[in-house]
Chains A and B, each alone.
Chain A
Amino acid sequence: MPRRIYAIAASVVADALRRKVVYVVLLFAAVMAAAIPLLPSYGVGVAMGVYREVALTLCYVAGMAVVLALSANRVPGEVERRTVYNVLSRSVRRWEYLIGCWLGVLVTMFGVLAAFGLIVFGLGWVNYGQPMWTLWQGVFAIWLEVGVISAFAIAVSSITGPVVVATASIVFWMIAHARAGLLSADQFAWKLYPSLDTFNIINPVAHGTGVGAAYLATMLVVFGAWVAGLLLAGCVAFDRRDL
């Protein structure tokens, strides 16, 4: 079973690497990152904090753009081209196919975000003369969040087309980050609102000392639960779909 999932994931990674969108977004984001030291620093003494904040925001935006480009059309494209039949007719279960797709996108995003992380880490080191190790915490959190977005996109893509998937994913992303705007922490509904804010550690990484190991572990648990729930829903839906 894992062998089949890994094989599908590997083919997704190979396919992603052939697509220009990954390199274009990465290049564009890298050029913008190189321009960060030229931006106004909002005040004396916070230039490094601003660099980290803008670098992570760029990483986040670039990550979201790439993950949507990779996830939205993954399953619908294969269904439309009918190549999915070749895969599913070889004793590959539908859920294995779906999880393999998600895993492939996640591995690709690991490569993309690691590459971007190296660029901003290197640029920060060169410009400010000291390594900003906490940047990697931010990159890790962004990777987890794009993993959840990818799981949502792939779950939705098991039943509908790429335009709906992209739109639904953006709406999901907005709703999942709207908790702080809609509610306050002392309201009971705050605790019942599923949110992606757990992965938002830009401020402590940019302007503070980062987050602790306990927080990172909590992020992993939340990530696991989000992904498991979303992919399970996607697998159930895909299994019932008349292909």
Chain B
Amino acid sequence: MDALIRRPAVAFACIALMLVVVLGGQALADTLAAETSFTATGDAMGRAGFAYLTGVRIFASAILWNRIDPIYHEYYGDLPLAEHTYMLPTIKIITVLTPDFEEAYNVGAWVVARRGLVDEALELARQGVENNPKSGLLATNYAQILFLFADDPEAALAQAEIAFSDDMEWRDLFEQHDSYAVLRTLFKTCGEPERSEAVMVEIERLDAELGDRLPPGSHDHDGDGVPDH
């Protein structure tokens, strides 16, 4: 070893040899791993960090969303949906931070669609369904965008069937009721009267269950049981 270290040329030749062994070894490892999906270290660390930051991400998304809400109601309430572009960057951040934040996809896709950017709207709606496969709201939203803006009744019907299936989850009965009303119209317009009737039966059942209750978030300042605005 002493002789090796004292003779740099030989030492560097050995180092070069070791490098060749490293390259040969990793080429062999690549071959052996050909059938296995290896992830980049950064990806794994990113996913772990993303998971650990769950609470922080949801908190940040809620703050961002709550920031949009008063702006919409107090400043731009009278504007048509297509004009609400100020919320799009925030919506994008929210969907990145919290992929299961359903409201963001729902509102975002409509704003974009109303501006005529159909492909972008479809992409956002599709992402919403992909990240929230059990969300009835987003499945209905996707079906609606496909039908109204993409002019693709076949795909819209398929998506509407998914939205109307028993597997879907709804945040409350009001959301389910309103979405079923959309689905009923969609089935009817697409020439599926039987499916439309089936949805109507469910709507009537939900009507009976809801009774005179007001939807969450309704403003009934005078207490007459009718939302004021």
Chain A contacts to B: CB under 8 angstroms:
32, 35, 39-40, 42, 50, 53-54, 56-58, 60-61, 93, 95, 177, 180-181, 185, 191-192, 194-195, 197-198, 200-204, 206-208, 211-212, 214-215, 218-219, 221-222, 224-226, 228-229, 232-233, 235-236, 239
Contact = CB atoms under 8 A, between A and B. Distances in A.
Contact of A222 (B29, B37, B44): B29
Given A57-B48, A229-B18, A233-B15, A202 B25 contact: no
Contacts of B226: none
A56 B44 contact: yes
Contacts of A233: 11, 15
Given A39-B54, A195-B26, A225-B18, A235 B44 contact: no
B28 interface: yes
A47 to B, nearest CB: 12
Sorted nearest first, the 8 A-B pairs with minimum C-beta distance are A229-B18, A222-B25, A225-B21, A57-B48, A203-B39, A39-B51, A198-B29, A204-B36
A194 B42 contact: no
B26 A222 contact: yes
A166 B213 CA distance: 64
Contacts of B209: none
A188 B191 CA distance: 58
Most buried by A among B1, B26, B29, B37: B26
B5 to A, nearest CB: 5
Contacts of B25: 198, 218-219, 221-222, 225
A224 B22 CA distance: 9
Interface of B: 1-2, 4-6, 8, 11-12, 14-15, 18-19, 21-23, 25-30, 32-33, 36-42, 44-45, 47-48, 51-52, 54
A50 B15 contact: no
A218 B30 CA distance: 10
A221 B32 CA distance: 14
B11 A236 contact: yes
Given A39-B51, A177-B41, A200-B40, A214 B32 contact: yes
Given A236-B8, A236-B11, A239-B6, A212 B42 contact: no
Most buried by A among B1, B37, B41, B44: B41
A38 B11 CA distance: 52
Contacts of B15: 229, 232-233
A218 B1 CA distance: 26
A93 B3 CA distance: 12
A221 B21 contact: yes
Contacts of B22: 194, 222, 225-226, 229
B26 A202 contact: no
A204 B38 contact: yes
Contacts of B42: 177, 181
